[in-house]
Structures are given as structure tokens and as C-alpha cells.
């Protein structure tokens, strides 16, 4: 006989510990053995009686409890799905959640000021709870907060899912397995990509392809850091509930999410890092995020992300272990933008005074850039030949880089000059195609006129007023600076090209 003692894991499951031997397991009294009964070994009946009485006496004297089989309690998972006018996507999201191979204990759709058919679609799914926000002025964070306050108690894990994200059938099972394997992990995020078939036009598919490349590149960098991420994306992340509770208590919030942050998922991740928790990207779990299929929607989303990150970084000022990677990305974007701008200016200036001399060495950074793009494209999930062609062509990647540089620059200017902007509202309008169109066209025209005037004045001064000596000094110094910057950036690009990804795929 054995006696089992309960032992508790980090996730509060009760499991069996090492058995303690009963001192009477090997108890025998040879003198009491009798002739065998029919069908029984010799002495079996007598031995059983002696052992039973001996055990009873031993327990009475020692107070040892009777062995009880302890049940193993399965972890409980709560899924929170904030939704604002998501009638086009919510059905796919909920269908994926209810079909998970690891059933989710409770799925809650949090309706936030919906004016479309999102509610009726959500209520049509069996096993899905619908919660409508009350007096919510904090957009997605407010919706998550009300869902957290109403349902989070009693659950081991909280799964945050955007209303336009579709999880692979085994995603929740994979996320839970990784959380149980790493008790210090506060959250594990799915590997994101985009479904190219959601693009109904050629242009929309190219936008989705660019986003697939961008996310694959980002995830490849994370995989090279042993899957440690500075942001647990809100698209699909499994959190440990008690770690979220600690953040809410420590920072005196109504929920773990900060209502003042435009990138609430990044801010929460940094708070978890401060508490010494790990934040990881899953090695296996897959999710398909909702892509932006219009330029306006894409720019609105990127502006919200970039401005939110800039605000958080500006609040922290100096880089630390939580912000080093984001700061590095910002400086890299600045350097890439500056070297491209200087190259174009110096190229134009050299051509206007017939001083440009071509060198084939300038093809080296171009070749390295193409090689990196091909490496990323090859690792894109469900890649097609079109993804490889996209990577081989220089223009699409450079156009994408230009838009990223622009949104980053404008976001930082807004932060520096104290401009307050509701990123959530701006993105919602951009995605729906409502509002902002006339304003955007007006801004583009205004900047175009201003830029054309500045170029005209600079060209006139450069050709007619600047002498040969000034032209020579400007061109020599300028090309030297650009050359040094290009060599440095190309060196970093080569490191990125050959850096291993530890066998993980984005």
C-alpha cells in the first residue's frame, strides 16, 4: 500500500507526489501460514487479515491519514474578445474559438458602442457570452476592463483575442502547454500572419503581402532572441491571471491595462517585465490577424502603433532592459530614413552640376537588402511565388520602408510638439473609410506645394548662387557622410542576414 501526499504546481493543479511506503507492505508472520484454500495461495487469507489489523493499529497510534486519491484540476481559461463594429469578421473569430481542440471554458464578446450587426452575430454562437459595455470612454481598454472585472475571478488564464483574429484549431492547446512548461511566463503570444485570400483586389493583396513580410521579419528577430518579446500583441495572447492581477494591484488600476496608453499591450508587457516575468512568442501556436486592405486603414493603424510606442519611450526617456529593443528600432528607422534622404539630395545635387560619378560599390547594400527580403519571404507562412517575387523587386520594399519612416517621423513630431491625438478613433475612421479623407488630401496637397517651392528655391541657389568651391565642399562632405552611414547600416544588415533563428519559424 502507498500513501500519496498532495503537491501544488504554479498553476494550482494538484498532482501526485512521491509515494511514502507503508511500514506493513512487507509485513509477514510465517508462523501463521495455514494450508491453502481452494484457488488461493498458501497463507493469503491469514496474511491479509494480519496486515489489515496491523495497519489499523499503526494508524490509530500514529495518526497517519488514510490515503486519498487527489484529483487533478484542469486549468480554466477565459477568452475576452472586445468588439467595436466587427460584423465583417466576428463570425470567423468566434467560429475558430468554439472549435478549439482544447475547449475554452468561457468565451466573452465585449460589445463596445456597436452600431452594426456584431451583437446579433455573436449571440448566434452557442456557448458564447455577450457583454455590453456601460459608459465606456476608454475604447478597447475600457471594454477589456469591464470584461476583466466581471469575469476574471476564478480563471487560471485569460486569453485576449481581437475580434478580427482567427486562431488555428490547436492554438489554445499549444499556448496552454507552453504556459505550463514555463511557470515564470506571464504571457505567451501566438505567431501572427495574415490570410492573403482576404484581399479582394490586386492592390489589397499587395498590401497584405507587405504586412506578411513585415510581421515575418519582426517575428524572425524575436525568434533569434529565444522568443522573448517586448510586446505581447493583443491579437491573440494567453496570460496568467494572477500575474495580471499583480500588475493591476501594483499600479492601482481597475484592470491590468492602462487606459492612457494607445498601445496598451506593449505597456502591459513592460509592466510584466518590471515584475521579473517572462513574455514569449509561441514556438507553435498560429493566429491570423485582421489585415489592413486600404492605404488609409494601414496608415491609421501604423500611426496609432508608432505614436503609442513613441509616447511610451518618451515617458521612459533613457533606454533600459525593457525599452532597449524599441529604442534600437527607432534609431534604426531614423538612420535608414536619413541615409536615403541624403542619398537622393546628393544625387540630384551632383547631377545638376555634372559631378556625379557612378561606382558599382553602391550595388552591395542593394544586394544585401534583397537577400534579407528573400530570407524573410522564404520564411513567410504559406508563402507563394508572388512573395518571392515581391522580395526580389526593390521598389515594393523601399516603398514600404518609406511609409514606415513617414509614420514614425510624424508620430515623434506629434509627441515632441505635444499634439494630443485619439489613435483609436482615427484608426476606426480610417478602417471604415469614414472621415479624414478630405483632411488627408488637403495635407498631401499642402506638403506637396511646400516641398515643390522649397526644391525650386534650393535648386536656384545651388546652380546660380553657390560657387564651385561651395559645391565641391558640400558634395565631398555629403558623400563621405552617406558612404560611412551606408557601410555601417550594411554591416548591421549582414549580421541580420546570417544571424540564426534557433530553428523557430515566424
DSSP summary character for residue 30: G
Average pLDDT estimate for 58-63? 59
Q: Residues 310-327, buried b or exposed e (16+ Cβ, 10 A)?
A: bbbbeeeeeeeebbebbe
Can you tell me the distance from the alpha carbon of 320 to that of 438, in angstroms, rounded to the nearest whole number? Answer: 41
**Residue in this structure with the C-alpha cell 491595462, named with its chain if needed:** 257
Three-state DSSP state, 462: helix
- pLDDT at res. 97: 98
Residues 26-30, mean pLDDT to the nearest whole number: 42
In whole angstroms, give the CA distance from residue 504 to residue 177: 17
Dist. CA 494–CA 409, nearest whole Å: 26
CA distance 305 to 497: 26
Domains along the chain? 2-62 (no CATH), 77-305 (3.90.550.10), 325-498 (no CATH)
Contact 232, 257 (CB under 8 A): no
Chain-centroid distance of CA 210 in Å reads 17
> Residue 417 burial by CB count (10 A; 0-12/13-18/19+): exposed, middle or buried?
exposed
Strand partners, 14: 8
Mean pLDDT of 12-18: 37
The whole-angstrom distance between residue 482's C-alpha and the CA centroid of its chain comes to 35
pLDDT in tens, 161-199: 999 999 999 999 999 999 999 999 999 999 999 999 999
| Residue 456 binned pLDDT confidence (cut-offs 50, 70, 90) | confident
pLDDT bracket for residue 52 (50, 70, 90): low
Measured in residues, the chain has a length of 506
Owner of C-alpha cell 504556459: 179
pLDDT at position 425 over 80: no
With bands split at pLDDT 50, 70 and 90, how would you rate the model's confidence at 71? low
pLDDT tens profile 76-117: 999 999 999 999 999 999 999 999 999 999 999 999 999 999
Dihedral of alpha carbons 163, 167, 169, 170, sign: negative
Cell matching residue 38: 481452494
Higher pLDDT, residue 341 or 63: 341
Closest by CA to 330, choosing from 482, 491, 396, 338, is 338
What is the reported pLDDT for 38?
40
Give the per-residue pLDDT at 430: 55
Q: What cell was used for 503? A: 530553428
In 259-362, where does DSSP find H-type helix?
264-274, 295-316, 324-352
pTM comes to 0.80
Amino acid at each position: 500500500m502507498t500513501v500519496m501526499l498532495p503537491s501544488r504546481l504554479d498553476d494550482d493543479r494538484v498532482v501526485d507526489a512521491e509515494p511514502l511506503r507503508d511500514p506493513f507492505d512487507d509485513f509477514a508472520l510465517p508462523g501463521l501460514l495455514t494450508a491453502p484454500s481452494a484457488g488461493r495461495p498458501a497463507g493469503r487469507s491469514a496474511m491479509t487479515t494480519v496486515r489489515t489489523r496491523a495497519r489499523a493499529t499503526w494508524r490509530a497510534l500514529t495518526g497517519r491519514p488514510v490515503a486519498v486519491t487527489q484529483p487533478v484540476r484542469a486549468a480554466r481559461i477565459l477568452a475576452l474578445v472586445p468588439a467595436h463594429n466587427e460584423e465583417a469578421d466576428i463570425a470567423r473569430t468566434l467560429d475558430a474559438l468554439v472549435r478549439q481542440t482544447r475547449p475554452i471554458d468561457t468565451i466573452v464578446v465585449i460589445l463596445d458602442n456597436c452600431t452594426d450587426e456584431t451583437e446579433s452575430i455573436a449571440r448566434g454562437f452557442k456557448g458564447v457570452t455577450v457583454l455590453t459595455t456601460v459608459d465606456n470612454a476608454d475604447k478597447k481598454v475600457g471594454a477589456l476592463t469591464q470584461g476583466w472585472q466581471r469575469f476574471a475571478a476564478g480563471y487560471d488564464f485569460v486569453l485576449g483575442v481581437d475580434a478580427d483574429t482567427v486562431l488555428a484549431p490547436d492554438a489554445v492547446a499549444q499556448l496552454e502547454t507552453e504556459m505550463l512548461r514555463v511557470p515564470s511566463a506571464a504571457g505567451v503570444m501566438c505567431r501572427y500572419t495574415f490570410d492573403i485570400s482576404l484581399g479582394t483586389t490586386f492592390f489589397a493583396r499587395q498590401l497584405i503581402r507587405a504586412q506578411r513580410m513585415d510581421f515575418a521579419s519582426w517575428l524572425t528577430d524575436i525568434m533569434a532572441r529565444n522568443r522573448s518579446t517586448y510586446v505581447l500583441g493583443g491579437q491573440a495572447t494567453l496570460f496568467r491571471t494572477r500575474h495580471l492581477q499583480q500588475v493591476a494591484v501594483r499600479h492601482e488600476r481597475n484592470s491590468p491595462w492602462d487606459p492612457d496608453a494607445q498601445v496598451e499591450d506593449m505597456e502591459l508587457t513592460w509592466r510584466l517585465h518590471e515584475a521579473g516575468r517572462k513574455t514569449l512568442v509561441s514556438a507553435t501556436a498560429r493566429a491570423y490577424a485582421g489585415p489592413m486592405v486600404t492605404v488609409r486603414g494601414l496608415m491609421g493603424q501604423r500611426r496609432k502603433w508608432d505614436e503609442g510606442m513613441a509616447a511610451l519611450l518618451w515617458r521612459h526617456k533613457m533606454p533600459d532592459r525593457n525599452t532597449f529593443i524599441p529604442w534600437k528600432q527607432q534609431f534604426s528607422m531614423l538612420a535608414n530614413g536619413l541615409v536615403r534622404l541624403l542619398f537622393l539630395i546628393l544625387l540630384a545635387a551632383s547631377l545638376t552640376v555634372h559631378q556625379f560619378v557612378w561606382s558599382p560599390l553602391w550595388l552591395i547594400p542593394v544586394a544585401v537588402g534583397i537577400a534579407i527580403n528573400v530570407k524573410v519571404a522564404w520564411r513567410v507562412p504559406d508563402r507563394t511565388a508572388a512573395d518571392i517575387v515581391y522580395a526580389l523587386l526593390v521598389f515594393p520594399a523601399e516603398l514600404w520602408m518609406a511609409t514606415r519612416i513617414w509614420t514614425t517621423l510624424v508620430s515623434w513630431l506629434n509627441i515632441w510638439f505635444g499634439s494630443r491625438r485619439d489613435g483609436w478613433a482615427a484608426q476606426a475612421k480610417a478602417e471604415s473609410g469614414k472621415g479624414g479623407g478630405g483632411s488627408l488630401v488637403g495635407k498631401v496637397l499642402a506638403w506637396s506645394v511646400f516641398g515643390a517651392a522649397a526644391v525650386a528655391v534650393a535648386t536656384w541657389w545651388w546652380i546660380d548662387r553657390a560657387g564651385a568651391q561651395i559645391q565641391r565642399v558640400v558634395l565631398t562632405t555629403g558623400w563621405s557622410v552617406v558612404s560611412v552611414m551606408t557601410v555601417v547600416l550594411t554591416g548591421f544588415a549582414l549580421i541580420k542576414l546570417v544571424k540564426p533563428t534557433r530553428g523557430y519559424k515566424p
